[in-house]
Amino acid sequence: MRAVLPLLLLLAACPGPVREADGPDAGGPADAGGRPDAGSSAPDAGSSAPDAGSTAPDGGPADGRVEATFVVTVPAGTPRFDPICVAGSAAELDDWAACGLALTRAPDGRYSGTMRVAPGTGIQFKVTRGSWQTVEKAPDGSETANRTLVAQAGARAEVAVAAWADAPTITGNVESMGTFTSSHGGPRPVLVYLPPAYESEPSRRFPVLYMHDGQNLFDARTAFGGIEWGVDEAAERLTRDGLMAQVIVVAVGNTPDRIAEYTQTVDAEVGAGGGADAYARLLAEDLKPAVDARYRTLAGSETTGLAGSSLGGLVSMYLGLRRPETFRRIGVVSPSVWWDGRDIVARVQALAHKPPLRVWEDIGTAEADEETVADARALRDALVAKGWTEGDDLAYLEVPGARHNEAAWAARIDRILEFLYPP
């Protein structure tokens, strides 16, 4: 078996389902830098324990204390039932515990809480959603300075949180269809990117591009290795600059059955595969009708596409050949042409008639070995032999030095989208 096989099978693996929130999705990891600023009386960025200079009130008589009140406004999309907390330097806040004071939600959507401390106590604090992985951040995702409140009669801190450490990296209008279920495959998350004109032109309908390994397309929190393709950012940029048509992008999440779903045959060396026809039914007979019913789509095959990388590139090519009545714009990115002895090349060569597909194919020269590039060229040559024309309905790109990973695919997503959906 070729040495590259484990890499090709594991890349774009699903890191876990997208978590749904009351509004835009909000969930995922953050680094330790979300802890309070270093060099103050708060813990440094790498420690959950307070600095040596951090002091707490002396715990004097309760009747000598004053109330300090915190009122917090949270950003849109904050999960409705997550705790909202104050973490801070006072002993009453458990010396920078992530949820030193749990706040209560008011009817107006703000959160508030009161604590009693000795008069004159200087409290440095931040707002969290119960952990340091969900601490508040600046609008651009950078660290915020510790906030300060000096305790005195009637002391009140009103805070507006700009963003959370686990905020999504999604750009534009992206909706969740939740967990999509089908009798032709396991449950999977589905996200839908809507182009800028979708809201501003309510009578207009739009082409649709279905993309595999949907966890990797829009959001670094769910992407393999924490690196997303940036399809949402690319589509926003390209449509703004008039370089691509306005297109709905449906990000179809993968599942533990990814290898089977993305391959058309069983590969004897791998001992797996062969579920692509069932996956085709999931897409064409279950998901596509649901998308067409929910969104203003141009539902015809001439405006409907498929794209993916690695095994996702393989299954895109296969489904284009298998179902041209449904999908005609095909993105074949770093395809696993090697699967089952280049079965996909043989299928192209066996075509009795050329289907009306617009095909993008590419490969990086540093993805694995020389055979990988040779495989891609073999597929291109088979397409050309059957009537596809480079520069017309076929684009072929070899990217010098490009590897088989999300960063490489993100670097060329603009060119892919421009070719598949020109303005």
The pLDDT tens digits for 46-61 are 333 334 334 434 444 4
CATH of 5-21+168-420, one of 1.10.260.40, 1.10.287.990, 3.40.50.1820, 3.40.50.300: 3.40.50.1820
In sequence order, the β-bridge partners of residue 419 are none
Cβ atoms of residues 184 and 224 within 8 Å: no
Average pLDDT over residues 313-337: 98
| Cβ neighbourhood burial of 386 (10 Å; 0-12, 13-18, 19+) | middle
Distance CA 359, CA 320 (A): 9
Q: In terms of DSSP bridges, do strands 208-211 and 163-164 run parallel, antiparallel, or are they unpaired?
A: unpaired
Report the pLDDT value the prediction gives residue 2, as an integer from 0 to 100: 54
Residue 355 main-chain phi, psi, to 5 deg: -75, 155
In eight-state DSSP terms, residue 9 is H
Q: How confident is the model at residue 63 (pLDDT cuts 50, 70, 90)?
A: low
Q: In a 3-state reduction of DSSP, which class is residue 219? A: coil
Q: How confident is the model at residue 34 (pLDDT cuts 50, 70, 90)?
A: very low
Poorest-pLDDT segment among 7-16, 18-27, 287-296: 18-27
Residue bearing the bigger pLDDT, 358 or 53: 358
Report the pLDDT value the prediction gives residue 41, as an integer from 0 to 100: 38
Distance CA 278, CA 283 (A): 9
Which pair of structure tokens corresponds to residue 216?
């990797």
**pLDDT of 292 higher than 90:** yes
Report pLDDT digits (tens) over 138-187: 887 778 899 999 999 889 999 999 989 887 788 899 999 999 999 999 99
Report the pLDDT value the prediction gives residue 226, as an integer from 0 to 100: 83
Q: Cα angle vertex 20, ends 18, 24, to 5°? A: 105
Residue 263 main-chain phi, psi, to 5 deg: -130, 145
Distance CA 149, CA 174 (A): 38
In eight-state DSSP terms, residue 338 is T
In the chain, the percentage of residues whose pLDDT exceeds 70 is 85
User: What residue segments make up the domains of the chain, in order of their start?
Assistant: 5-21+168-420, 32-164
Amino acid of residue 188? R
Report the pLDDT value the prediction gives residue 136, as an integer from 0 to 100: 94
Q: How confident is the model at residue 211 (pLDDT cuts 50, 70, 90)?
A: very high
Cβ atoms of residues 150 and 106 within 8 Å: no
- Helix then strand count (H, E) for the chain reads 11, 20
Distance CA 164, CA 27 (A): 9
Question: For all residues of the chain together, what is the average pLDDT?
Answer: 87
Q: Which CATH architecture has domain 32-164?
A: Sandwich (2.60)
Equal CATH topology for 5-21+168-420 and 32-164: no
Q: Which residues contact 407 (CB under 8 A, 6 or more apart)?
A: 227
Average pLDDT over residues 394-416: 97
Residue bearing the bigger pLDDT, 318 or 6: 318
**Helix, strand, coil percentages in the chain from 3-state DSSP, rounded to 5:** 30, 25, 45
In the chain, the percentage of residues whose pLDDT exceeds 90 is 76
Query: What is the sign of the dihedral through the CA atoms of 254, 13, 164 and 173?
Result: negative
Poorest-pLDDT segment among 27-36, 124-133, 228-237, 367-376: 27-36
C-alpha distance from residue 91 to each of 42, 100, 121 (Å): 12, 9, 10
**pLDDT of 284 higher than 60:** yes
Q: In terms of DSSP bridges, do strands 358-364 and 394-399 run parallel, antiparallel, or are they unpaired?
A: parallel
